[in-house]
Structure 1
Amino acid sequence: MNSLLSILSDHWDDLLRGAAYTASLSLVSIVLGIFVGLTLCFGLISVNPVIRIASKIYRSIWRGTPLLIQLLIIFYFLPMVGIGVPPLAAAVIALTMNTAAFQAEIYRGGLTAIPRGQVEAARMLGISTFTIRKNILVPQMFRLVLPSLVNETISILKNSSLISVIAVTELLRTSQQVVATTYRPFEVYFLAMLMFLIMTVSLAALGRYFERHLGKSEKKLAHAV
C-alpha cells in the first residue's frame, strides 16, 4: 500500500498527463469518426452499386481486422509511399478509420428504425435528399443510437492503449515509462487500470444522463403536441 501511494504521489502528474492524452486522442477520433461513419453509412444504403460495394468493402476490412495491425500498417506503410506520418497522426487516422466502420453500422441500424413514411412525405414536398438527411433522419438517428455510440466511444478509449506500440505517450506508454524507473509494475499498471476505469465509468454515466435528458425532451414535446 505504501509503495502504491508513493508511486501515486511521485508520478501522479505523469499519469494524469497520459490519461488526458488518451482521452483527447479518443475524443478527436470519435468526432472525426462521426463524419466518416455517417458518410459510410449512407454509402452502405446508396442506390449506386459502386458506392455501396466500396462502402461494404471498407466496412468489412476495418471491422474484420485487428486495430493493432491497422495501426502498424498505417504507421509503416504510408512512409513507404512517400507520406511522412508522425506517430500521433498515425494513431488518430487508425482510430478514426476503425471507429468509422463500427459507427456506420450503428447509424445504419438507427436509420432502419425510422419510419420510411417520413422520407417519402418529405420527398413529395420537394425537399432535397441532403436536407432530409440533415434535418429529419440524422437528428432522430442520433437519439436512437446514443447508447450504442457511447459503447463505441468506451471501446475506442480502451483500444487507444494499443497506440503505445508506436511510441505515442498516452496512459499505457506513460505507465511503461514509470515502471522502467520504479520497477513496480503491479502498482503502476493497477493505477493505470483505475484511471481507465474512471474514464469509462464517467463516459457511461454521461451517456445515461444525455439519454434521460433526450427522453424527457421527447415527452415534453409529445405533451405539447
Structure 2
Amino acid sequence: MLSLFDKNQRWRKKALATTKDESFRQYLLNDFPKTSQTVSETEFLVLDFETTGLDSKKDHIISAGWVEISKNKIQLSSAEHYLISTKKQLSGESVSIHNLTDDMISKGVPITIFIKHLLKKITGKVVIAHYKKIENEFLQQICNNMFSCNLPIIMIDTLMIEKNIREKANKPIVVNELRLFNLRNHYNLPRYHAHNALEDAIATAELFLAQINKHFSSPDKLKIKALLY
C-alpha cells in the first residue's frame, strides 16, 4: 500500500504533467507540509462543507467555512464563510438543516472560483475536518471535474483521532458518540449552533486543540504523522 507521502507525490507529478490551470499549478509547486513536522510548527486550515447530500458524484457543496490554526492557537481573523451557487434545487430537508434557501444559494460564488480561492488558502497547510471523508471526497471529485486530476492533500480527521484514542483504551464506542456536537460535550467545550459551515469549522478547531492537549504529549513534540489515520 502506498504511503500518504508516496500517493501525494504520484498525484502531484501526474497533475503537474497534465494541468495547465495556473492556480492549481501554483498549489502543486509549493512545498507540502512534512508529516515529520510537529503540531506546533505546522499551519492548519480547519474546513467544513455543507452539502446537498453525501454523494460527491451527484450532490453539491452549498456552503463552506474555515479557520486557521497557527502556533497552537485558533486565528479567528482568518475565518471565512462562503455560499456556493448550484443549479440543484434544495430539498426541504436541506433547507431545514442548513437554514439556506435556493434564493440565498443562487447568490453564492461559482464552485470554480471558490475552489481556486480555497487552493490558495490550503497551500502549505495541513487540512483538518471532522469526518474528513465528506470534505475529501467532494474536493477530489471537484478537482477531477475541473483539472482532470486528484488533489494531493494532507488531512487530519478529529473523528478518527477520537476513535483511535478510545480503541487504544479499550473503550466501547456508542452510536453517535463521535459526532462533533457530542464530542464537544465530552471535552466540556461550549455549546454551539450546528449546521453552519463556519461555526462547524471553529467547533472542530476547538475540539482538535482539546484532543491534543488532553491525550498527547506537548504539541512541541507531537508529530503530524501520529495524527494520520
TM-score bucket (shorter structure) = under 0.3
TM-score, normalised to structure 1, is 0.27
Larger helix percent: 1
TM-score, normalised to structure 2, is 0.27
Point out the structure with max Rg over C-alpha: 1
Larger strand percent: 2
